[in-house]
């Protein structure tokens, strides 16, 4: 699979540099007690800082800085039905809807700068998360195991094959956040979203330590664009709050797909699909933060992602032909649902 980390690392580095050059000099790290707004928004030292996020005034002592670090677990929804493998009599041995697989996990981290300006209730936030190893495997045995792969079947079927289907997600966003008097915060900003998949069918009889015979494919989506959204507090008190968020992103997608068939001698038959398309992403969150102290709290909640017009490995397998050499991107939709747990620090 192509290495996409260098592109993301470069962009993250640029965003961090821009933030520190332009945002940090304007952050208000404290207000004078004589400030006419300050008295209205001071709060007891025992109160969790989560409660302060609903204030729509920039004139308050704190918070000025936030850091969330934790883990996220995501699972893809069940793939659409499609016969993947048959036996010598044409009976289905495997269907794509059996390859939902396990949940993937990874890092979830965000960085926030509150009260960028003394006279405007504006914050800035960045978030990165990834979920790897959403994996499903199957070992199939029969007199003849015949995979149906990109419109082709093996010339000489064997009696044992392994199926391997894996997905991973990476996401980065940077947003300006505008607080309102109604416990509602609106945001707009940049979104990067990446979906990579692998679908392999290994011939266990003809494979060896040096050569894996069979079929392999991959699909990649590198998406970047703008997003808008909102976050609203449902319940809050001195100990924390329950809140939800919704984001919609419109993204340019550098979509890619490739497949190859290898025989026992290592000979290859390959096809490639590549195109620049438009995709959309919906991001949902619902959860709560419970205060551990004034500056620290624990967050747990639901995370949902719905993306349209992607290059996904199983959909390419169903519609593309390995004999064509080149194929278009056959668009498909994807959904991932799960949860996240973070330690939240607000200063």
Instruction: List, for residues 159-191, the tens digit of each pLDDT value.
Output: 999 999 999 999 999 999 998 888 899 999 999
Whether residue 132 is predicted with pLDDT greater than 90 in this model: the reply is yes
Strand partners, 332: 310
pLDDT at residue 32 in the model: 31
Q: What are the structure tokens assigned to 78, written together?
A: 């069940």
Question: How far is residue 192's CA from residue 181's CA, in Å, rounded to a whole number?
Answer: 30
- Mean pLDDT for 187-196 is 98
pLDDT at residue 42 in the model: 36
In 3D, which of 265, 263, 256, 230 has the Cα closest to residue 244? 230
- Classify 87 as helix, strand or coil: coil
In 3D, which of 176, 184, 175 has the Cα closest to residue 233? 184
- Mean pLDDT for 90-113 is 95
Confidence of residue 294 (pLDDT cuts 50, 70, 90): confident
* Residues in contact with 21: Cβ distance below 8 Å, sequence separation at least 6, in sequence order: none
Of 16-25, 86-95, 101-110, the range with the lowest mean pLDDT is 16-25
Q: What is the DSSP string of 290-347?
A: EESSSSEEEEEEEEEEEEEEEE-HHHHHHH--TTSSEE---EEEEEEEEEEEEEEEE-
* Residues in contact with 18: Cβ distance below 8 Å, sequence separation at least 6, in sequence order: none
Q: What are the structure tokens assigned to 77, written together?
A: 């929804």
Contact 240, 301 (CB under 8 A): no
Q: What are the structure tokens assigned to 138, written together?
A: 């199957």
CA atoms within 13 A on the CB side of 126: 16
pLDDT at residue 53 in the model: 73
DSSP 8-state symbol, 239: T
Q: Note the pLDDT tens digit of each residue in 206-265.
A: 887 777 788 999 999 999 999 999 999 999 888 889 999 999 999 999 999 999 987 656
pLDDT at residue 266 in the model: 58
CB atoms within 10 A of CB 206: 17
Q: Which CATH class is domain 5-346?
A: mainly beta
Residue where the block lists tokens 């006279």: 119
| pTM of the model as a whole | 0.84
Contact 217, 150 (CB under 8 A): yes
pLDDT at residue 318 in the model: 94
CA atoms within 13 A on the CB side of 159: 2
Q: What are the structure tokens assigned to 197, written together?
A: 């998949």
Q: What are the structure tokens assigned to 106, written together?
A: 């990874």
Identify the H or E element spanning 57: none
- Mean pLDDT for 312-318 is 95
In 3D, which of 337, 342, 235, 219 has the Cα closest to residue 282? 337
Whether residue 12 is predicted with pLDDT greater than 90 in this model: the reply is no
Identify the H or E element spanning 236: strand 214-237
Q: Cα Rg for the chain, rounded, in angstroms?
A: 25
């Amino acid at each position: 699979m192509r290495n996409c980390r260098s592109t993301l690392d470069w962009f993250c580095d640029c965003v961090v540099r821009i933030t520190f050059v332009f945002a940090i000099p304007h952050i208000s790290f404290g207000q004078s007690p004589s400030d006419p707004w300050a008295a209205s928004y001071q709060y007891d030292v025992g109160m969790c800082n989560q409660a302060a996020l609903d204030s729509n005034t920039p004139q308050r002592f704190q918070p000025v800085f936030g850091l969330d670090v934790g883990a996220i677990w995501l699972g893809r929804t069940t793939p659409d039905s499609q016969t993947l493998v048959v036996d010598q009599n044409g009976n289905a041995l495997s269907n794509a809807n059996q390859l939902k697989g396990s949940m993937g996990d990874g890092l979830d981290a965000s960085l926030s700068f509150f009260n960028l300006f003394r006279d405007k209730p504006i914050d800035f936030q960045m978030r990165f998360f990834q979920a790897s190893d959403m994996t499903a495997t199957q070992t199939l045995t029969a007199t003849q195991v015949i995979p149906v792969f990109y419109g082709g079947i093996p010339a000489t079927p064997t009696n044992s094959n392994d199926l391997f289907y894996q997905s991973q997600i990476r996401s980065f966003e940077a947003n300006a956040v505008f607080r309102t008097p109604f416990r509602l915060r609106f945001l707009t900003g940049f979104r990067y979203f990446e979906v990579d998949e692998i679908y392999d069918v290994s011939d266990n009889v003809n494979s060896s330590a040096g050569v894996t015979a069979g079929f392999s494919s991959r699909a990649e989506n590198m998406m970047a664009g703008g997003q808008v959204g909102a976050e609203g507090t449902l319940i809050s008190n001195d100990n924390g709050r329950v809140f939800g968020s919704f984001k919609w992103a419109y993204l340019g997608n550098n979509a890619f797909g490739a497949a190859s068939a290898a025989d026992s001698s290592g000979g290859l038959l390959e096809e490639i699909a590549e195109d620049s398309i438009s995709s959309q992403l919906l991001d949902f969150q619902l959860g709560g933060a419970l205060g551990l102290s004034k500056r620290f709290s624990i967050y747990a909640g639901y995370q949902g992602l719905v993306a349209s017009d992607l290059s996904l490995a199983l959909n390419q397998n169903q519609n593309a032909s390995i004999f064509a050499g080149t194929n278009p991107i056959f668009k498909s939709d994807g959904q991932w649902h799960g949860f996240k747990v973070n330690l939240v620090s607000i200063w």
